[in-house]
Structure 1
Amino acid sequence: MKRQVFLYGALLAAGTLALQWLDYQRLARAHSGDIFVFLIALAFLGLGITVGTRLARTRRPATFDGNPKARDALGISPRELTVLQEIAAGRSNKEIAANLNVSPNTVKTHVARLFEKLGAKRRTDAINRARELGIVS
């Protein structure tokens, strides 16, 4: 009895498989163009995702080192560098003095020394020269 049930089940499975195969063949012939369009669209989708993730990947900006060789060559002190960065941020002498907790006269002295070292006559010249040298960003 078990053998007959097993044989009957195997025959039904083979028949079902044959019918599914024939149905697949009919479907593949009737819609071959659609299948090809789907496969091409799928390939372009994969390509788009790959290219998109590579282009949209956020890159970490290079760390800004402030060109220590140029600073040393010009003899700019760390305090003068701080004042130069404040000037590049657009702050006035009074604002710089308040931020650094020094008198405005001290800031004026630092600015005057920066002008001498950078060969500048005004703040914009000093900032442009410092940016050319890579001292400030």
Structure 2
Amino acid sequence: MLYGALLALGAVGLQWLDYQSLVRRAPQTLYIGLVAAGFLALGVFVGNRLFRALPTQPFNGNPQAQTALGISARELTVLHELAAGQSNKEIARKLSVSPHTVKTHVARLYDKLQATRRTDAVRKARELGLIE
């Protein structure tokens, strides 16, 4: 055990001497490396502080406007699908209803939002905060 400790101490001493010779031969390179490592750490720290994702509030869909306009939950689902650019057949397939039912929901949404086209209904729904 004593022999192992002496060997370890000798290895540490040799490494220390090697380090000392490196510092004497190329101190400028060592200092540049230390400054670069410091700026790297500073850049990572500042980058994490400046560009971290801010906690976002969950989207609630403006329930006051939904209630005031009388938009049902199913109509709101259809409105979300309209905003995603889905056709009546695609919406019907996704919601497991007939295309005529979707057409009825869309017509009611037009009436409630005072819209004449899909794009108009989606724009007004976004303005009211019903959809993102």
* Cα distance in 2 between the residues matched to 1:107 and 1:118: 16
* Cα distance in 1 between the residues matched to 2:89 and 2:30: 73
Q: Which is greater in Rg?
A: 1
Gaps of 5+ in 1: 1-32
* Cα distance in 2 between the residues matched to 1:48 and 1:89: 40
TM-score normalised per structure 2: 0.69
Gaps of 5+ in 2: 1-27
* Cα distance in 2 between the residues matched to 1:101 and 1:40: 64
Q: Describe how 1:109-120 pairs up with structure 2 within 5 A.
A: 109-120=104-115
Partner of 1:126: 121
* Cα distance in 1 between the residues matched to 2:127 and 2:51: 30
Number of equivalenced pairs: 116
Deviates more, 1:102-111 or 1:116-125: 102-111
User: Deviation digits for residues 86-131 of structure 1, max 9, x if unmatched?
Assistant: 1111111111111111111111111011001101000000000001
One of 68, 87, 90 as aligned partner of 1:92: 87
Do structure 1's residue 70 and structure 2's residue 65 form an aligned pair? yes
Q: CA RMSD in A?
A: 2.9
